[in-house]
Amino acid sequence: MIRPLDSASSSPLHFFGYFLDHRSEDLGWLWDHTWLSVVPVVVGLALALPLGWLARRYQWIYPPMMSITGLLYTIPSIALFVLIPPVLGMDPLNPLQVPIALSLYSTALLVRVVADGLGAVSEETVQAATALGYRPVGRFFRVELPIAVPVITAGLRVAIVANVSIVAVAGTIGMDNLGRLFDQGFTLSVSQPYYPPIVLGIVLCVLLALVLDLLVVLVSRMLTPWRRAVPS
């Protein structure tokens, strides 16, 4: 529950005190924000892998697919949040509209990344893998995809940080996440600006983005141990 405005300082530096006063609610929103940021990237990557492979395998598909995904990514997030429920026959406040919208954004961003990452695999490498007996599916998962991991990782880092930012917008339409802190700050700024929840929302979003970005980097390092090899 939000305490009256006169019970706490409105200074931006009071954000930690505000967190202590509302930590249960804020931690719940942090968890909501986390899964809303991560799940769409996982779904987007799962969809982007076959689409990116098709765009790289059949060159005539690449231009129209990149145009379509590029246009999709330019749709304002708030418009997509509003359009998805009636299109899918969902309740306007159904929380699934946010991960669905962000999955579309993530897919649109990652298709190009996957296609370009696979395109960075040299033809000599592909021919060598084929000569060693790899069939197309095995060659993709055991040779081409691992080599493309660094490029794909760069796209994942952009996607997941972008999602942390976009999810906050959903707080303005009543979805539970850290964006609710911004809404509270503006609501309480009646007679004078009330900064603590706004600053707290910014701090938690930045920390969440940094942690998720670090996790992506660590997973990438685990998947590409040969990049850490040092010549003797």
For 34-62, what is each residue's pLDDT tens digit?
A: 999 999 999 999 999 999 989 888 889 98
pLDDT for 8 beyond 50: no
Give the pLDDT confidence score for residue 86 in this predicted structure: 85
Give the pLDDT confidence score for residue 12 in this predicted structure: 62
Amino acid in position 27: L
Give the pLDDT confidence score for residue 229 in this predicted structure: 57
Alpha-carbon distance of 89 to 83, in angstroms, equals 10
Pick the CATH number of 12-224 from 3.40.50.620, 1.10.3720.10, 1.10.260.40, 3.30.70.260: 1.10.3720.10
- pLDDT confidence band for 227 (50 / 70 / 90): low
Task: Return left, alpha or beta for 174; rule: phi > 0 is left, psi -120 to 50 is alpha, else beta.
Answer: left
Q: What is the DSSP string of 72-129?
A: HHTS-HHHHHHHHHHHHT--TT-TTHHHHHHHHHHHHHHHHHHHHHHHTS-HHHHHHH
Alpha-carbon distance of 67 to 209, in angstroms, equals 28
**Please, is 48 exposed, middle or buried when counting C-beta atoms within 10 Å of its C-beta (0-12, 13-18, 19+)?**
buried
Token readout for 58 is 């059949």
Give the pLDDT confidence score for residue 142 in this predicted structure: 81
pLDDT for 210 beyond 50: yes
Q: Which residue has the higher pLDDT, 211 or 226?
A: 211
**Lowest mean pLDDT across 89-93, 145-149, 177-181:** 89-93
Give the pLDDT confidence score for residue 110 in this predicted structure: 94
For the chain, what percent of residues have pLDDT higher than 90?
A: 32
* pLDDT one-digit tens code per residue, 48-103: 999 998 988 888 998 999 999 888 888 888 888 888 888 888 877 777 888 898 99
Alpha-carbon distance of 82 to 173, in angstroms, equals 9
Give the pLDDT confidence score for residue 228 in this predicted structure: 64
Q: What is the DSSP string of 115-176?
A: HHHHHTS-HHHHHHHHHTT--HHHHIIIIIHHHHHHHHHHHHHHHHHHHHHHHHHHGGGT-S
pLDDT for 20 beyond 50: yes
